[in-house]
Amino acid sequence: MTIRVAVAGATGKMGRLALELIEEADDLELHAALDSRSSLSELEGADVALDVTHPAASGAIVEHAAHAGVPIVVGTSGWSAERIAEIGHLLRDRHESRAVLFVPNFSIGSVLGSAFAAFAAPYFDSIEIVEAHHAGKVDSPSGTAVRTAELIGAARADAGPVSAPHADQRARGQLVSGVPVHSLRMSGLLAEQRVVLGGDGETLTIGHSTISSAAYEAGILLALRRAPAMQGVTVGLDALLGLHLPGTPR
Ligand SMILES: NC(=O)C1=CN([C@@H]2O[C@H](COP(=O)(O)OP(=O)(O)OC[C@H]3O[C@@H](n4cnc5c(N)ncnc54)[C@H](OP(=O)(O)O)[C@@H]3O)[C@@H](O)[C@H]2O)C=CC1
Ligand SMILES: O=C(O)C1=N[C@H](C(=O)O)C[C@H](O)C1
C-alpha cells in the first residue's frame, strides 16, 4: 500500500530531504508540499503529514492535522513538555486517536546517545548537557537536549534530582528537568551533543555528532511508515526502535 505524505516546510533543508526520500521510496508518494505561504488545508487527505517548519508555525500545523484526522510526524523543534501535553488534551477532548509523533531527533545515533545517557543517569549525581548547533538555529536549548534532560530526569525518579550547584548563575546554563543545558550556536558544524556525567573520581561522556543530514534519513522513513498505524501522542523514536528507557511508561 502506498502512503501519501504531506510535507510542511517542503522548501527548507529538512523538507527538501524528505521530498527526496519520498521520491526514492516505492511505498511513499507526495500528497502535498507546503511552504510558508500554503494553506494548511493542503494537509487534508494525506495518510501522514510531516512538519519540519519553524517553532512559531508548528503549533497551528499540528492542530490543523489533528482536527483533520491526519496523523502527523513533528520534526520541528521548540516543543516543551507542557505544549506536548496540551496536544494530548486536545486529542482526548476531540476523541481523536490519530497519531501525533514528536521526533526531537531523527538520527538513530542521537536517539541511542540520549538513551545511553538515561541508562547511565541513576549512577551519577552530576550530569550536564552541552549542545552545539549551526548559527541558523533559532531555538535553544535544542529539542534533543530538552528530550535528553527529560529522559535523565525520568530515569532518576528514585535517585533524586541531579546535583547542579550554583545553577542561579546564567553561565551555568538553563535547567531542564533539573539538568543544566549549555547551548552553543556557531559556524562550522551542524549538530552535536555531549552529556557529561560525573561521579566519584570519574566522568563519563556520551557524545554524538551529526556530520550531514544523511543522519536523519532512516529516522524520517521509519516515522513516516509507522505513524499512520499509531495512536495518540508519542515522543521520540525510542519506542519505535524497541528501546525501553528507565522511568518511562512501557
Ligand atoms: N527532528 C530532527 O531530527 C530535526 C529537526 N530539525 C528542525 O526542523 C525544523 C526545520 O529545519 P530546517 O529544514 O533546517 O529549516 P529551514 O529554515 O531550512 O526551512 C524551514 C521551512 O519551514 C517553512 N516555514 C517557515 N516559517 C513558516 C511558517 N510560519 N509557516 C509555515 N511554514 C514555515 C519554510 O518555508 P518558506 O521557504 O516559505 O520560508 C521552509 O520550508 C527546525 O525546527 C529544526 O530545528 C532540523 C533538523 C533535524
Ligand atoms: O535545528 C537543527 O538543526 C536541529 N534541530 C533538532 C533539535 O533541536 O534537537 C535536531 C537536530 O539537533 C538538528
Tell me, using a 6 A CB cutoff, whether residue 107 lines ligand 2.
no
Mean local confidence (pLDDT), 179-200: 98
The pLDDT of residue 250 is above 80: no
Nearest to 3 by CA among 29, 33, 26: 29
Residue 231 belongs to some domain of the structure:
yes
The CA distance from 61 to 144, in Å, is 21
Q: Is 54 in the pocket of ligand 1 (CB under 6 A)?
A: yes
Segments forming the whole domain that contains residue 20? 3-102+214-240
Q: Is residue 194 domain-resident? A: yes
Residues 83 and 14 in one domain: yes
**Paired sense of beta strands 126-133 and 191-199, if any:** antiparallel
Residues 212-230 have a mean pLDDT of 98
| Residue linked to cell 501522542 | 233
Look up the pTM and report it. 0.97
Is 250 a member of any domain? no
Q: Check: CB of residue 208 under 8 Å from CB of residue 116.
A: no
CATH code for the domain in which residue 90 is found: 3.40.50.720
96 & 135 share domain: no
Contacts of residue 248, defined as CB under 8 A and 6 or more positions apart, other chains included, come to: 151, 154, 238
In a domain, 132, yes or no: yes
If you average pLDDT over every residue of the chain, what do you get? 97
Is the same domain home to 191 and 134? yes
ipTM over 0.90: yes
Considering the domain architecture, whether residues 33 and 81 belong to the same structural domain is answered as: yes
Determine, yes or no, domain membership for 246. Answer: no
Closest of 121, 113, 143 to residue 208, by C-alpha = 113
Instruction: Kindly state whether residues 11 and 96 are assigned to the same domain.
Output: yes
Residue 94 CB partners (closer than 8 Å, separation 6+): 66, 67
Q: What is the mean pLDDT of residues 119-144?
A: 98
Query: For residues 163 and 180, what is the distance between their CA atoms, to the nearest angstrom?
Result: 9
Active site residues: 133, 137
SS3 37: coil
Question: Is the CB of 23 inside a 6 Å radius of any atom of ligand 1?
Answer: no
Mean of pLDDT values over 82-101: 93
pLDDT value for 1: 87
pLDDT band at 97 (very low <50, low <70, confident <90, very high): confident
Asked whether residue 183 is assigned to any structural domain, the reply reads yes
Asked whether residue 86 is assigned to any structural domain, the reply reads: yes
Cα(250)–Cα(228) distance, rounded to whole angstroms?
20
Q: List, in order, residues 6 or more apart from 7 with CB less than 8 Å away.
A: 15, 18, 19, 22, 30, 32, 33, 34, 49, 50, 52
State whether 65 and 83 are in the same domain: yes
The model's pLDDT over 30-77, given as tens digits with 9 standing for 90+, comes to: 999 999 999 999 999 999 999 999 999 999 999 999 999 999 999 999
For atom 41 of ligand 1, the residue with the nearest CA is 9
Asked if residue 249 is part of any domain, the answer here is no
Structural domain count of the chain: 2
Q: How far is the CA of 157 from the centre of ligand 1 (A)?
A: 34
- Same domain for 157 and 203: yes
Whether residue 82 is found in the same domain as residue 145: no
The confidence band for 249, taking pLDDT boundaries of 50, 70 and 90, is: confident
